[in-house]
Chain A
Amino acid sequence: MSTTPNTYWRSLNELARNDEYRQLVEREFPENASELTDGYSRRNFLQIMGASIALAGFTACRKPMQKIVPYTRMPENVVHGNPLHYATAMPFMGSVTGLVVTTHEGRPTKVEGNELHPDSLGGTHILHQASTLDLYDPDRSRGIRQGDEARTADDFAAFCASTFTRDKRVAFLSEASSSQTLNRLKRQIAGRFAASTWVTYEPFGEENVLLGTAMAFGAKRRPIHHYDKAAVIASFGDDFLAAGPDSVRAAKQLAKSRKVMSTEDGMNRLYVVESNYTLTGTNADHRIRVKESEIAQALFALAAALGADGFGGHTNAFTGNGDIARLAADLRGANGAALVTAGADQPPAVHAAVAAVNAALSAVGATVTYAALPFADAADQNAAFRALTADLAAGRYDALVMLGTNPVFTATGDVDFKAALSAVPAVVHLASHIDETSAALPSNGWHVPRAHYLEMWGDGLSFTGAASVIQPMIQPLFGAWSEIEVLSTILTGSRTGGHDLVKQTWTGSDWNRILHDGLQAGTSFPAATVRLTGAAAIRAAAEALPTVSGLEVAFKADPKLIDGRTANNGWLQELPDTITKITWDNVALMSPTTAAGYGVEFPRASILRAPADEEPMVAVNVNGKTLELAIWVVPGHADNAITVYTGYGRTHAGRVGNGIGVDVNPARTSSSPLFASATATRIRRTYPIASTQDHHSMEGRPLIREASLSGYREKPDFAAKMVKVPGPIDEAGQPISLFDEQTFPDHEPQWGMTIDLNACTGCGVCTIACQAENNIPVIGKKEVKRGREMHWIRVDRYFSGDVNGNPQVVHQPIPCMNCELAPCEQVCPVAATTHSDDGLNQMTYNRCIGTRYCANNCPFKVRRFNFFNYPKTWLIEGNDPEVVQMAMNPDVTVRFRGVMEKCTYCVQRLNRAKIETKRATGDSRKPADGTVKTACQQACPSDAIYFGDISDTESVVTRTKRNERNYLLLEELNIRPRTSYLAKLRNPNDATA
């Protein structure tokens, strides 16, 4: 069973002949026409389709005859050519994050954070930024199917009416959801059938956390951390900065105390206890390197050291460990301003212990509050899922309804969900693609295309409890359904529009205001009062936890693909991993010492040898399964341990995600899904890995300038002082130059940028945001392996310290520096790259003939070349190019083969802002400070990027450039970059120094 690509029109003329289209236009008004009043018709996709074709940016070749296709009925508040912004929210793992979506003529093209939303505050993470591409994924399923037969919506409604009768025993399997409407319908369901079960299945959800708090407090509670209130933070395997339901808020709060702007400012201290190097680990001031199975033990030792309830006299391998002792002292010293967290994938006992520790630190109510979740089931959902699988297999149910989720792929090896499916008479699977589960449905099973959040009505609660309504930006492509629409059809036997369902839930609320703001003002979870009751139980559970003595394998959710749900998203597949910089693959991550055991030398002993083209491989035997993976050395990884990521090796993800990497789920067990003891042997095969940064060391060059907080206080301008610029100085105080000065001091504005390396976490959201904003193509593994990645802003990663011990990691985002004396400009023979009056280093695509001289001469190597006609394969030749074209930003030209491209500080935004300002003021060309943001700056969850007019002495960016931490990269070349950096600081505990 596979998607049939051509059920969708290919051109306007065909569109006119398209049946779907006829049906729609024959109706007097399109669906939900009653909503024309609140401008619903703006989202009427079919009528604006034409406009979007005329607008999608295109390459340097002019067509003989261009058509203009106007609206037939002009939608309200659309000014043709100007983008509109609407608030909505993106659901993910049971929480929603408030977003503002930019739409061009009804096409959502870009998402930004909603500044009004407490869990976004204007920030986003990589999954938010990449989500627009998912909407326009041509591999999405194109319609309802039963077995291999296409079915209509009416067929499905009829099936529901006949099947879901009151006498039936029905099982429901859904992703974690905080949707008020969904849960309203869920309650109706509960009473409706003879027997019904509802299981929430999230392979990497927060169930363990809830079970842990249940163990501690007697009821499931969600711990909400307040990182901004904590002076000392200790994370036990908790990668809270990696994209997740709460990561944006976490990054914002952590960054708050890391923006050290003067020697008076303080800075929090972050300890991370982990096995693999994670994003959070790279930001740690102290990183304690232990095997995954030892994290719990380290925590219990800490609990004992702090005298947490239930751990009196508890001893284990870490009792008396120096690092833990110092950590304990530091935490206690913070009196109340301390916070301990643990990774959601850690077993419940760990979270229970964390609760005990935080209680012992009297952090509860200060740095951590607990929330009672309105929609959480009391039962253990992990266990419930296993039970359900067994019951299904035993034929105890007449029907199964799966709202999203892909259990056939994500379930652990010991749970044979596929077999269970075949034993159910009637199965309904709501899924965006014909994924592994849909493909495994029995021949009479129903697949219903699932709506993307940008094309559906819905609602939900944020991680901290802010209530939002999800409003569609566009009518469902491919007639997709939302969860609530399916549920209501099951309940009523006929389809009700998502809008009406949501509206029912929200009756009595200030509907239009909520739609406008993107959330219901002032809503959040009240802090629940908790009392630690389960001390004894925690102790018992803790001491029952297994440990692994020999080699162990840890199974972690991939930071980009999670459980594989985003595997068909090219932007995420091609986003380099924050630590390894690997794209398009998962590998066996291990420390240099461990790798040496398999005959891998790191770093390569003989530099005389040309680098090997392919990586050595290792066969990992775990739980009776064998995983053959490429060996990848991560300095700082725990020894005698291997980490592998889930979400790869999908077979029904789509053309992008199929066959990428290795599926490790079969080797996991539901009893211990996180880690298992294993054996591994080097095998003869090798495997090509596309990594965008092979070199791990900074070679002692002053690229990322770092100091300890105390060092900074002694010598605040240490960064600028690290390099002496040679040569004579001119009257302007600048080193003299052979070339014409490229600055126009009389012309305002003068754009400039500053990047705070202390606030930057290295998450990589800037890269995706830039890709979405600037129509940057995805080029695939083969080309990335060749080193032809196209990202305009990359995040460099360097290891410092002893690579065989516990080295530190630093990140550095590198966009185009827009040098005032740009080396690239001097050498272009056709003047395709020149300087603009407002200080930009311009790249004129249509003038470029592609000598690549500019890229050669760029000291930062930020220029990217279209070696092939990269967009062609998916924008022109791909099936349904119109669909993918709709993701394009019409303000940015799509670059043709043989053309150089690079970061332009989002010049399309700057120009729009300048014209808007002129129109508004009548005479000013200079947008007010802060009104124009670059895509990377706007997306950054920790506000590490400052951008603005440096001719304005009071603008934020000018003030940051005056800061003592400010320095210029490669200043000694006298190229005068417009992008500068604020030096990185760390706040080590002197007791450990």
Chain B
Amino acid sequence: MTRLVATLRALAQRLANAAQALLLAAVLVTIADIALRSVSNAGVPGTVDLMQLAVMWSALLAIPAAFLTDEHVAIDMFTKALPMRLQQALRLFALMLAVAALALMAWYGAQQAWREHTAGDSTQTLGFPFGIYWLPLLLGLALSSIACLALAGETLARLWRGEPDPAPAAARDPGA
């Protein structure tokens, strides 16, 4: 199970890094748009559509990696003094909640995405089908749910064998 989690972690991190390339590309397109606008009246068409697309893919495909590296914001000040097994049981509970919540959002999101796809919804400027905006959200939620399930399996195995968890990632505050 630990090997499966390690493999998933490496894959998810590569996926997240690759998705950032889209964000960099969108930055360059935006700079080109501003530069063109400053010398002529015309800019790069569809910059807004492209930026939205890049942000959706870059942000949402990074969510599974953040679960696998334990980076999503959680407060451990009340639990870190508890016995190891109780901490692991609480982690298992948190992961199962995550599996359920993420899977529900992915499932009902997929149904909504399908409705919009069949209605032929598309973006205003470049006419991109809405499906390519929905895809990173659905992938991000579904892959995160799978990642949490794998982590839950790993935690359960450790709990069963009485092994301690590896040191958690340093706490971070994304808003700060």
A and B assemble together: no
Give the B-binding residues of A (Cβ under 8 A). Answer: none
